[in-house]
Amino acid sequence: MTPTPSAAPLEWFKSSYSSNDGPECVEVAFAPSTVHIRDSKNRRGPQLAFGATEWAAFVSYAADH
């Protein structure tokens, strides 16, 4: 999802579990109503966007596994 011209640019954060040596490089950006995810090695590639409920469910699931 690309921000509209009137939207503020997203501020991306690299996952603390990502490294420069491995393939697991994930970046996250928080917007008022969505959480955006992208591959830090392909920043112009596809991005995923989730609502707060979906993001909370994912984080809860990931913490348990």
Exposure string over 28-42, b if 16+ CB within 10 A, otherwise e: bbeeeebbbbbbbee
Residue 32 lies in a domain: yes
Q: Convert the pLDDT of each residue in 12-30 to its tens digit.
A: 998 776 666 666 688 999 9
At 6 the pLDDT is 56
Whole-model pTM: value is 0.72
Q: What pLDDT score does 19 carry?
A: 66
Strand locations in 1-65, DSSP E? 12-14, 26-30, 35-39, 47-50
Residue 50 lies in a domain: yes
Residues in the chain with pLDDT < 50? Answer: none
Which amino acid is present at 50?
F
Domain extent for 53: 12-64
> Is 28 domain-assigned?
yes
| 4 assigned to some structural domain | no
Contacts with 26 (C-beta within 8 Å, 6 or more apart), sequence order: 14, 15, 17, 18, 37, 38, 39, 40
